[in-house]
Structure 1
């Protein structure tokens, strides 16, 4: 039985994955799901798996004007409907006191999703009359 796993592998499993599974403690026993996800991301198997250094500026959004109680989960909830967000791809910048400084970052998997989110959310008026500023990273340079 060949499959993608090659000689002695499991059908449908990419070459080299059996060895990787062995290093992680086997298939479902002893290894953690976190370790599996990290391995798959490092291999580039999951969308957005490479580090943020490997993403283009067009995939990264700078967000300004966030309320003090904003969390990473809030950013994910606001920006997620616009497209796939990279793992660990949201960050609300916190002050030493633990409140949001008003600034955040969102890293999308695809540039077109980042552009769509920026277009939809930039200059959105909040209930207190302030507004969000959402820009594709470095898009305002030279303006």
Structure 2
């Protein structure tokens, strides 16, 4: 009756790079691997928000604050004035746009002690500033 057409690969231009992948019709399932036992000091169950990169939980800084919602005119000096009442500051950095030289809306303040940093976060949040411990 009619001439039967040979089915062409769906993405022929990828066959050069991935010929083995396009020729197989089976789905891939990774081989089962034993799970490592839980590390000491952790409790079983539950999931941790903010886990990235190989399943390791990201450690929050104990002294470095991330502050967002800053106005474009914010400078490092403004961050010092904002956070000085809460403890000794090691460093500040308002993140600036390289083209406009204006603050991108966020910055960092590093305190000399975890207690000062925690006090700053609590007080700044209470006053409406978007502050949290940096990653």
Which TM class, normalised by the smaller chain length?
Answer: 0.5 to 0.7
| Structure 1 runs not aligned, ≥5 long | 1-55, 126-131, 139-143
Q: Which of 106, 120, 132 is matched with 1:135 structurally?
A: 132
Give 1 or 2 for the bigger CA radius of gyration. Answer: 2
Which structure exhibits the higher relative contact order, with contacts defined as CA atoms closer than 8 Å and separated by 6 or more residues? 2
TM-score (norm 2): 0.53
State which drifts further: 69-78 or 115-124: 115-124
Query: C-alpha separation between the residues in 2 aligned to 1:93 and 1:123?
Result: 23
- Per the alignment, residue 98 of structure 1 pairs with 101
- Partners in 1 of 2:127 and 2:132 — Cα distance? 12
Structure-to-structure mapping, 1:1-143, within 5 angstroms: 57-86=61-90, 89-96=91-98, 97-122=100-125, 124-125=127-128, 132-138=129-135
User: What's the C-alpha RMSD, in Å, of the aligned pairs?
Assistant: 1.4
How far the C-alpha of 1:133 sits from its partner, in A, is 1.0
Report which of the two has the higher share of helix: 1
Alpha-carbon distance, 1:123 to partner? 5.7
Tell me if structure 2 keeps the 8 A contact 1:61–1:137: yes
Q: How many corresponding residue pairs? A: 75
- Given the two structures, how large is their TM-score scaled by the length of structure 1? 0.50
